[in-house]
Structure 1
Amino acid sequence: MKRLSLALVSLAAIGLAMPIAASAQDKVTVEFWTMSLKPKFTPYFQNLVKQYEAANPTVKIEWVDVPWDVIQSKLTASIAAGQPPALVALNVPWAYEYSLNGVIQPVDGLFGKDIGLYADGAIKDVTFNGKAYGFPHYNGASILAYNKTLFAKAGITKVPATLDEQLATAKTLKAKTGQAGFSPALGKIAGVFMQEGLPLVENNKAVFNSPKHVAMLAKFADAYKSGALLKDNLFAEDNFQTSIDAYKSGRLGQLVAPPSALTRVRDDAKDIYAVTEVAPAPLSASKIAAGGWLFHFAVPKGISGPTLAEAGKFGKFVTNDVNQVEFSKLAGTFPTTKKAAQDPFFQSLKSDAGAFEKGVATGARSLDSIRTLYVAGVPDYEVLNKRLQDATEAAVIGRKDIKVSLDEAAAFWNTKLAAK
């Protein structure tokens, strides 16, 4: 009997000394959705899950990658069925609409003091009505590339830091070198207005025919008349390709684009790449730089209790400094935490660093100024935007008086808005 008692005590002691693995029933499951990241990022996320589960044995992580064109409908269906993911990757415009409709929930309580680790611009992007609605994951950023030879020929010694300076530089480049100096995306005039702090709609009425809006278009019209603006696809919805082609051929003095665009200059036009220098993208009057398009992980409604708590921990893990740097290396994107942006991958430049490497470092230093600009809450926006684009083209090329053109477009908008 004594032996038996001792054996039982010994087994009990061993049980106390050995960690007990959590059963499947005891584990908290955190399902998270990414958007169109397979197969390129499969090893990355599989490793991420493996690391997290090893460090958190009471948590089971399930990764689901959903094509971008069905993720919204799939999310809606999962919420209706009472089985939403704990985290879902969203862009900012979608998240804004979802926050208004209660589809996603604030995560301020899950952030805690860690909210200060993220770039100011990233947190502003996911903050609606004073509450944060997601864990910032990755972002875009543009830089200003310019042709040093053309700048020197034109006698330009100061790199433009604002839109006004950029337009003035463009006019000087045209006058002194004969080449266009700037290629603004006037087909996206709504975004240009917003970047400069000029609203499109207030109190359900179009306001883009104000004196400030008219004055801005007048600046573009003046530059257009002088030949300073590249006319190739100037009013198209997307003039990115034509702008790069013009820069590669030496027909454009300034290019605002993501650093990755410079790899095309490097590969296709080595002579132009050799005389390319970079600087931060000019800031608007509202201190916003171009190029932001943030993706983040939001928490759908219906997630609560232990699952909500674990979703917060995993959301911070996926978007921490180390993991963001590794993702950026694979994706060619920019991180959204302050420390990650200072990582040697972005900032340690070799003595022979080219324009691309300099562009990456420059973009990483501008993250607090990067914002995602979008139009929200405007019904039939595509129809309305086309009318504004047409009005902008007529005004800038001089086919119609600027104020008259914007007044007519605003009247069209107001008729449509009043009918909704």
Structure 2
Amino acid sequence: MNYFLKKWGSIFNLRISSKILSCRKRDGRLVFAQVICAFVLLFSFQASAFAVQKIEFWTMSLKPKFIPYFHDLVRDYEATHPGVQIVWVDFPWDILQLKLITAIAAGKPPALVNLSVPWAEEMARDGLLEPLDAYLTTPGQAIPYTDAALADLRFNGKVYGFPHYSNVNVIAYNRQLLAAAGITQAPQNMDELLALAVKVAAKTGKPGYAPALGKIDGFMMQQGLDLIVNGKAVFNSPAHVALVKKLAATYKANGFLKDKLFAEDNFPAVVDAYLGGRLAVMVSAPTAIKRIQTDAPDIYAQTGIFPMPAGPTGINDGGWMFHFAIPQGVKSQDMPAVAEFARYLTGDRSQLAFARLAGVMPTTKQALANPYFKQLPVNAGAAELASAVAANSMNSARSLYVAGIDDYDELRRFLVKAVEAGVTGKADIQTSLNEAVAIWNKKLAKVHRP
């Protein structure tokens, strides 16, 4: 019996008390109670030695492309954290939110979940996410994420996520069309970009620019124009009217690509026009530049890159950052281990690897400063130039949206219709915006009713 206990004690690296192992005899009989105690201690130590903390994290529509990436990431983390088991679950984007809310309601949330910024704002407002300010870094270390990324996730003064990846718009331009129009300098603001569009149209007969006017709300916010103030819609102000008048003048001068101009997603039409040499300027994230390289090598060869000018607020549009949040219901004693894995998942090394694979931009300062973005190769093409330009703009890249309104998409459609009527000359701009504001304020009055 002594041998048996010593053998299993060595396997589990345990020290069995010599008093227990002595198994003294009393009246010629084995003290059976001591043996029982030995087994109890042994198997309690065994259970402790094999106790594993399970950390389940959910992502959004990242299979199958990123299966090798996440399998390697999980394997490497578990190798250095033997007491932790990482479980990766991926859901399609259109069911993840419902799955998450159901899991939280059942008291069985994942430890981490991949969310967009608008979803995080809504869920934080409803008390479904944990604030994470205390977990963003370890004591004595600087927070690795960009200021803009943290600002995206700061709601009511608290941060609700570990930033993961994002993007920011750049300007891809057709060198031949801009040269024909005599344009050599990057536009410094929206007025100059609109002037460029008009000049290209006048000189070449082709549109210069294709803004996403189906997302006019973000367009206005980037220009420093609020849509709602103190619970009321205000986008019929003189400043808003003036902006729409500039858009209308550009439209009338044929400076805009008119294909799907007011569609919720006009990007496919924009890409097709640029690939066909029918558009001078394409505003997009760097990812789209690689499509030009693949689908239209001749256009790619004459594509240059400008930075997209920030608005008066200093904000660059095109962020739409994704991050990892900790849902309500994760046990407080599990939070340190979950946060440690989250920092690894969104750390410099992991973000750089993911960004290179996915064609997106990281949200940590060190990853953005990596030579992959900063040191351009000899004879760098438009794709490499776009990544470098985007990296320089990432600290001002924000996700622009209107927060705190249920069924917001319906309201936005009224705004888009009003702007479309004004830009195309079908209705007076002031009147059209007034009517949309009235519709918004009826909805907002219900939202803010005590």
Aligned counterparts, 1:8-407, within 5 A: 23=48, 26-112=51-137, 116-407=143-434
Larger Rg, first or second structure (1 or 2): 2
- The aligned counterpart of 2:39 is none
Deviations 1:186-222 (A, max 9, x none): 1111111111121212222211101111111011011
**Could you tell me which amino acid in structure 1 is paired with residue 393 of structure 2?**
S
**Could you tell me which amino acid in structure 2 is paired with residue 303 of structure 1?**
V
Instruction: Assess if the C-alpha contact under 8 Å between 1:105 and 1:300 holds in 2.
Output: yes
Instruction: Assess if the C-alpha contact under 8 Å between 1:75 and 1:84 holds in 2.
Output: yes
Deviations 1:271-328 (A, max 9, x none): 3222110021121111122211111110111223331010110000001111111111
Instruction: Assess if the C-alpha contact under 8 Å between 1:379 and 1:417 holds in 2.
Output: no
Which consecutive unaligned segments of at least 5 residues does structure 1 have? Answer: none
Aligned counterparts of 1:76 and 1:272: Cα–Cα separation in 2? 46
The structure 2 residue matched to 1:413, chosen from 427, 437, 440, is 440
Aligned counterparts of 1:209 and 1:414: Cα–Cα separation in 2? 12
Tell which deviates more after alignment, 68-77 or 102-111: 68-77
Which consecutive unaligned segments of at least 5 residues does structure 2 have? Answer: 16-44
Instruction: Assess if the C-alpha contact under 8 Å between 1:22 and 1:57 holds in 2.
Output: no
**Could you tell me which amino acid in structure 2 is paired with residue 340 of structure 1?**
A
**Could you tell me which amino acid in structure 1 is paired with residue 339 of structure 2?**
G
Scaled by the length of structure 2, the TM-score of the pair is: 0.86
* Closer, same or farther: CA 308–398 of 1 in aligned 2, 3 Å: same
Instruction: Assess if the C-alpha contact under 8 Å between 1:38 and 1:65 holds in 2.
Output: yes
Instruction: Assess if the C-alpha contact under 8 Å between 2:286 and 2:359 holds in 1.
Output: no
Shift of 1:138: 0.8
Segments ≥4 residues shifted beyond 6 Å: none
The percentage of aligned residue pairs carrying the same residue is 50
What secondary structure does 1:117 align onto?
coil
Residues matched between the structures, number: 412
Shift of 1:359: 1.0
Shift of 1:355: 0.7
**Could you tell me which amino acid in structure 2 is paired with residue 343 of structure 1?**
N
Aligned counterparts of 2:278 and 2:191: Cα–Cα separation in 1? 21
Shift of 1:268: 3.0
What secondary structure does 1:282 align onto?
coil
* Closer, same or farther: CA 143–377 of 1 in aligned 2, 3 Å: same
What secondary structure does 1:180 align onto?
coil
Instruction: Assess if the C-alpha contact under 8 Å between 2:186 and 2:307 holds in 1.
Output: no
Shift of 1:390: 1.1
**Could you tell me which amino acid in structure 1 is paired with residue 223 of structure 2?**
E
**Could you tell me which amino acid in structure 2 is paired with residue 301 of structure 1?**
Q
Query: RMSD across aligned C-alpha pairs, in angstroms?
Result: 2.4
